[in-house]
Amino acid sequence: MLESYKGAILGQAGAKILFILFELISAFSMRKFNHFDEFYLISVLVLEVKEKLEKEHYDLPVGENGRDDEDMILWYLKDRRFSVEEAIAKLTKAIRWRQEFGVADLSEDTVKSIAKTGKAYVHDFLDVNDRPVLIVVASKHLPDVHDPRDNEKLCVFLIEKALSKLPAGQEQILGIVDLRGFGTKNADLSYLTFLFDVFYYYYPKRLGEVLFVEAPFVFQPIWQLTKPLLKSYASMVKFCSAETVRKEYFTEETLPISFRD
């Protein structure tokens, strides 16, 4: 009788239980979570999302950044405050976008031409808070000269590159927008809208802080138009001086060359 009971349990839910137990043991050995109940519930939610994606969105790719990527599933669950349905909706949108945009095909070679302009790059060093740094030189952004698609590809490539530099325990990057020399010829609302969509839908909560450095008067009207689009993300923006960047975000050894003057 007891053996039959055990067999029934394993037949109906054994796979899920064994999976969760395995993940729990792994997590406790790495001390990822402090509370058994918390991790148990999170594991169940991750598994639920994974199974729903397999059943309802089986055409989505698998593997890294695919529908069975548990780290990605967990990230979107956290972003959606552990609402399974909301996480699935946002996750499927992101995975399909990655396919259509061709994120996996981006490389140093594919963005070489636009990258040569020096309009944006990933800094070689982390900031004082151990965050990878993505720097944008606004005066070199010329929407009337550069192909908008090339600008978008460079943007996504650099975000991916910055995220690949995340050290253990760090989840967000720092964005620095150098506005020195910015003029009306550099203004590009459509590109700013693209940036908002990218960080909100496809890289949620990956941008920890954005520094607008030495913003000139001409930038203020553009900011007033853009700010409502950012909603809560606007709180991440900090207007500051180049001196603040030098003193508060880097050491002498790690300071970007453009801020050494």
Each residue's pLDDT tens digit, 129-169: 999 999 999 999 999 999 999 999 999 999 999 999 999 99
Q: Left if phi > 0, otherwise alpha if psi is -120 to 50, otherwise beta: which for 132?
A: beta
Residue 26 pLDDT class (50, 70, 90 cuts): low
Above 60 in pLDDT, residue 34? no
pLDDT confidence tier of residue 257, bands split at 50, 70 and 90: very high
pLDDT value of position 37: 66
Position 12 pLDDT exceeds 70:
no
- The pLDDT mean for the chain works out to 88
Does residue 30 have a pLDDT over 50?
no
For 26-30, 153-157, 167-171, 246-250, which range has the lowest pLDDT when averaged over its residues?
A: 26-30
Of the listed ranges 54-68, 69-83, 224-238, the least confidently predicted one is 224-238
pLDDT of residue 29: 47
Distance CA 170, CA 176 (A): 18
User: Cα–Cα distance between 138 and 154 in angstroms, integer?
Assistant: 14
How far is residue 241's CA from residue 216's CA, in Å, rounded to a whole number? Answer: 11
At residue 40, the pLDDT reads 76
Predicted TM-score of the model (pTM): 0.84
Q: What percent of the chain has pLDDT over 90?
A: 74
Name the DSSP class of 235: G
Q: pLDDT band at 4, cuts 50/70/90?
A: very low
Dist CA 206 CA 161 (whole Å): 13
Q: Does the pLDDT at position 68 exceed 90?
A: yes
Please list, residue by residue across 109-145, b when 16 or more beta carbons sit within 10 angstroms of its beta carbon and e when fewer do.
eebeebbebebbbbbeebbeeebbbbbbbbeebeeee
Of 8-12, 18-22, 120-124, least confident by mean pLDDT is 8-12
The β-bridge partners of 137 are: 178
Q: How many CB atoms lie within 10 A of CB 72?
A: 17
| Bridge partner residues of 237 (DSSP) | 210
pLDDT surpasses 80 at 88: yes
Asked if the model's pLDDT at residue 110 lies above 60, the reply is: yes
